[in-house]
Structure 1
Amino acid sequence: MHELSVCLSLLDQVERIAQEHGAERVERIRLRIGPLSGVEAPLLANAYPLAAAGTLAEHAELEIEAAPVRVHCVDCGQESEASANRLLCAGCGSYHTRLTSGDEMLLASLEMSIPDQLDADADEDGTSA
């Protein structure tokens, strides 16, 4: 399953970010996936629990948002939405377009639990605030 390896790679990135910020755990992962990315969102969501087991993101909620397919028209300069199988300009109907969105898988945001700095300072000197 291709999505399992994608999920494992995503979780490597998520754990690296969480460790850089000193997070205890990851609460929520938001992804933006375009229909032309080659990643099937339902399969990725199914692979997530297996891939996340034993990580800082094991209990994190995975939110997947669909990214729209957008094109920039070379002929008229307009940017518009298009369908995945018809990358035509909505303004002039030209097929001379350049894809600007819809082929990405993007880590949009992370919500993490980071220990309070005051608690860390109190632990160091043996007092509490």
Structure 2
Amino acid sequence: MHEMAICESLRDAMEDAAKAQNFSRVTRVRLAIGAFAGVEVEALRFGFDVVMRGSLAEGADLVVLEESGTAWCFDCNDTVPLARRLDPCPVCGGERLLPNSGTDMKIKDLEVM
């Protein structure tokens, strides 16, 4: 379950930010997760609660902002929206698609004290 490793990286990033920006507690974390990022949101929520125990983000709310994805269709030569990575092109039905957004995950913001 790589979601635990993601949570550990989040904790490390928050600790670094706390040192740089002089805060001692995180009460809310907003994460933007792309539709094609390969992250299981419920596993991430579970991992977040476990990994944040004893840290500056213990008890913090995790808000997940799910972002849609887009892909370049080689058949119709256009960028198209996709709900799921393996869906066909909604314009032409083609299956030769290259994702160009929705593959990343980033911290949007933190609510701190």
Fold agreement, TM-score > 0.5: yes
5+ long unaligned stretches in structure 1: 114-129
1:89 is matched with: 89
- Distance in 2 between residues matched to 1:10 and 1:28, nearest whole Å: 12
Larger Rg: 1
Give TM-score, length-normalised by structure 1: 0.73
Taking the TM superposition and a 5 Å limit, the aligned residue runs for 1:56-67 are: 56-67=56-67
The structure with the greater share of residues assigned to strand is: 2
5+ long unaligned stretches in structure 2: none
Give TM-score, length-normalised by structure 2: 0.82
Q: SS at the partner of 2:86?
A: coil
Contact 1:71 1:87 (8 Å CA) reproduced: no
- Distance in 1 between residues matched to 2:108 and 2:77, nearest whole Å: 28
2:111 is matched with: 111
Number of residue pairs matched by the alignment: 113
1:24 is matched with: 24
Contact 1:69 1:82 (8 Å CA) reproduced: yes
Letter in 2 for 1:38: G
2:39 is matched with: 39
